[in-house]
Amino acid sequence: MNELDIQIILYNNYWNSWDIAVPNILYYWTWESDILAIT
C-alpha cells in the first residue's frame, strides 16, 4: 500500500462517517425541537 491508497481509504472513511452522522444529527435535532415545542 502506498500513501495514495491510504489517503483514499481515509477519505472514504471520512465520508462514510458523515453519511452516518448527518442523519443522526438531524434526528436528534428534530427530536429535541419536538420536546421544546411541547414544553
2 vs 16 pLDDT, higher one:
2
**CA distances (Å), 19 to each of 3, 5, 13, 28, 32, in order?**
25, 21, 10, 15, 21
Q: Which pLDDT belongs to residue 39? A: 57
Above 60 in pLDDT, residue 30?
Answer: yes
pLDDT for 38: 65
pTM above 0.85, yes or no: no
CA distances from 1 to 6, 9, 10, 17 (A): 7, 11, 13, 22
Q: In this structure, is residue 15 part of a structural domain?
A: yes
Question: 25: domain range?
Answer: 9-38
pLDDT, position 10: 85
Q: Say how many domains are in the chain.
A: 1
Residue 32 pLDDT: 74
Domain assignment of residue 22, yes or no: yes
Residue type, 36: L
